[in-house]
A and B are shown apart, each in its own frame.
Chain A
Amino acid sequence: GAGVSQSPSNKVTEKGKDVELRCDPISGHTALYWYRQSLGQGLEFLIYFQGNSAPDKSGLPSDRFSAERTGGSVSTLTIQRTQQEDSAVYLCASSKDRGSPLHFGNGTRLTVT
């Protein structure tokens, strides 16, 4: 079966522009996570969706970051007015439910020039 799919795989944008990153989780997985991986750093939690519950947004670094998950499936991470420090790999993961192993996509590499 298909794994977690993320698009685009690479995105170059100018400072100040908005970007949207997409994640298609594994079918049937109710939990969906966004993480950010900066060069040489670990994975920084951004946001978590579980079924129809309110998302856990505790990891979003600023109000320029937002995410939604439509119909309990596809998720979009939006970064408004991008800054150079937003440059990183954005990883999406899904799991069958809370506490089950996470399955990661290959990420979107975002470069802000």
Chain B
Amino acid sequence: QQQVKQSPQSLIVQKGGISIINCAYENTAFDYFPWYQQFPGKGPALLIAIRPDVSEKKEGRFTISFNKSAKQFSLHIMDSQPGDSATYFCAAWGAGGGNKLTFGTGTQLKVEL
């Protein structure tokens, strides 16, 4: 059973555009939602995270939007740059999810000039 569903699988955005990646979860006990960024040959690195008591969190060009009632959250990358080209994973953590982060299947983002 996949507890965190992520879309799209891949995404191509023009430089300066907005990249949007969506995730949906099933377990209402999840209470921590991070996004990880992974470059080829490297391990994932924490990008930004949110807890369900807020609907939005912004750090620089990266914003998480969170909809608790819909059990959905999304990552927005404003003014996308070629250096943002990477694979992005959403994840969820909390009671009922065990002692682990449950990850989405990833989105491969390519930002073109």
Contact = CB atoms under 8 A, between A and B. Distances in A.
A1 interface: no
Nearest to A101: B46
A4 B100 contact: no
Given A56-B100, A102-B46, 8 more contacts: A42-B6, A43-B44, A43-B103, A45-B102, A56-B98, A58-B98, A91-B43, A99-B93
Contacts of B89: 42-43
A40 B104 CA distance: 11
Interface of B: 6, 32, 34, 36, 41-46, 49, 89, 93, 98-106
A75 interface: no
5 contacts: A42-B89, A56-B98, A58-B98, A101-B34, A101-B46
Given A98-B99, A106-B41, A42 B104 contact: yes
B99 A48 contact: yes
A42 B43 contact: no
A106 B42 contact: yes
B44 A42 contact: no
* Chain A contact residues, majority secondary structure: loop
A93 B41 CA distance: 15
A45 B91 CA distance: 12
B107 to A, nearest CB: 10
B37 to A, nearest CB: 11
Give me the 5 closest cross-chain CB pairs, A-B, nearest first.
A104-B43, A42-B105, A43-B103, A45-B100, A42-B103
A104 B98 CA distance: 19
A107 B99 contact: no
A106 B32 CA distance: 24
Contacts of B43: 4, 91, 93, 104-107
A102 B38 CA distance: 13
